Amino acid sequence: MPYDRQHLKLSFIFDVDSGAEMAVTGVSLTGDVGFDAVAALADPTDSNLISFATTLATVMATSPLQWAAYSSLTTVKLAAVDTAGHYLTDPRVVAAGAGLTGAFSGVHPQLSVEVGLRSVTKIGVANYGKMYLPHTALPLFSGTVPWCGGSDQATILAALAPWYTGLNGAAGGWAGSPVISNLSKIGSGVTKTVTKIALGRITDTIRSRRDKLAENYLYSTI
């Protein structure tokens, strides 16, 4: 089934040890049903795209979030995507710049902090999205239990929220005024604007164990 509109896919590419492995994360941005992704693709300058990577790296390097020293944010890609999920034209790909690298040792490559992308409703589909921060970890509360302490969780969320707000503000000046959105192909396609982000506290890579722990999400509007 198709999406109900075109969208832009903004992706950030991370290298592990200078290309031994890659990780990709990002968000979707779109406007009204008639959104023209190709027109919007042309609006941001390369410097604009690089700035999104630079500010994201700054957030990921903000204490107490732990970003692995082997991980570098190297590339930004912006693609115009049609309703079938295919590229409408060649994506724009720019180097993110030097020095966007983590500093922490002991962060396993399987770890990624998940930022929840929430719409204003909880009914139907396209209410929940995700953006992973590759090769990052939450600090363990007291160093022993498998979740982040509340004050650290709040500090990290407060550092993250302005990045999403800033991206929305910048994209608002592009053709069609796109914003960060969740998109679904279910039925005739559903698109919902992301209105807040969520950050949980659990640090664990095994679902069976993680599901037994009491999660506690904090939220911030964007």
The three-class DSSP label of residue 153 is helix
Contact yes or no for 73/56 (Cβ under 8 A): yes
Average pLDDT over residues 61-88: 97
What's residue 215's pLDDT?
87
Confidence of residue 211 (pLDDT cuts 50, 70, 90): confident
The pLDDT of residue 141:
86
> How far out from the chain centre does Cα 52 lie?
11
pLDDT of residue 173: 98
Q: Measured between alpha carbons, how far is residue 129 from residues 13, 75, 163 in Å?
A: 19, 22, 16
Whole-number Å distance between alpha carbons of 98 and 153:
29
* Residue 63 pLDDT exceeds 80: yes
Tell whether the model's pLDDT for residue 205 goes beyond 70: no
Quote the CA–CA distance of 46 and 131 in Å, as a whole number. Answer: 22
Query: Which pLDDT belongs to residue 93?
Result: 98
* pLDDT for 27 beyond 80: yes
Contact of 73 with 51, CB cutoff 8 Å: no
Mean pLDDT of the chain: 94
Dump pLDDT digits (tens) for 101-120. 999 999 988 889 999 999 99
pLDDT of residue 214: 82
Q: Examine the pLDDT at 194 and tell me if it is beyond 80.
A: yes
Q: What is the pLDDT of residue 208?
A: 79
Residue 216: per-residue pLDDT: 92
**Residue 217 clears pLDDT 80, i.e. is over it:** yes
Q: What pLDDT, on a 0 to 100 scale, did the predictor assign at position 20?
A: 74
Are the C-beta atoms of residues 127 and 119 closer than 8 Å to each other? yes
pLDDT at 104: 96
Q: Please report the pLDDT score of residue 10 as a whole number.
A: 98
